[in-house]
Amino acid sequence: MLINESIKTITCSDFRIFLKRLIKDKIEKEWSEDFVDEINFVNIPRMTIKRRYENKGIDLIKLINDISYYQHVKNNVNTRGSLEFDKKK
């Protein structure tokens, strides 16, 4: 697991690996691994991605840093990739 205080300190390659893990674990429902490989972090800044998850009820920084939160999200994300509101931690 990546241990970083800020999403800005994560290297692009590590962030891509993390996003691909979200796809494999079926937390990320809209993107493919090919899409993640092609993401331009200038055109789609990391903070935009962070806000995208926040809009779905998921704290991306906590998802990166907290293994138990990651498991909670993995087990409680709905078909749209949003954390079920009644199951927020």
pLDDT in tens, 32-79: 999 999 999 889 988 899 999 999 999 999 999 899 999 999 999 998
Report the amino acid identity of residue 57: G
Report the C-alpha gap between 84 and 42 in whole angstroms.
31
Domains in the chain, number:
1
Range of the domain at 26: 11-82
Q: Give mean pLDDT, residues 21-32.
A: 96
Structure tokens at 21: 């893990």
Give a yes or no: residue 54 inside a domain: yes
Q: Give mean pLDDT, residues 7-13.
A: 83
Total-model pTM: 0.84
Report the C-alpha gap between 22 and 83 in whole angstroms.
13
Give a yes or no: residue 50 inside a domain: yes
Give a yes or no: residue 1 inside a domain: no
Give a yes or no: residue 46 inside a domain: yes
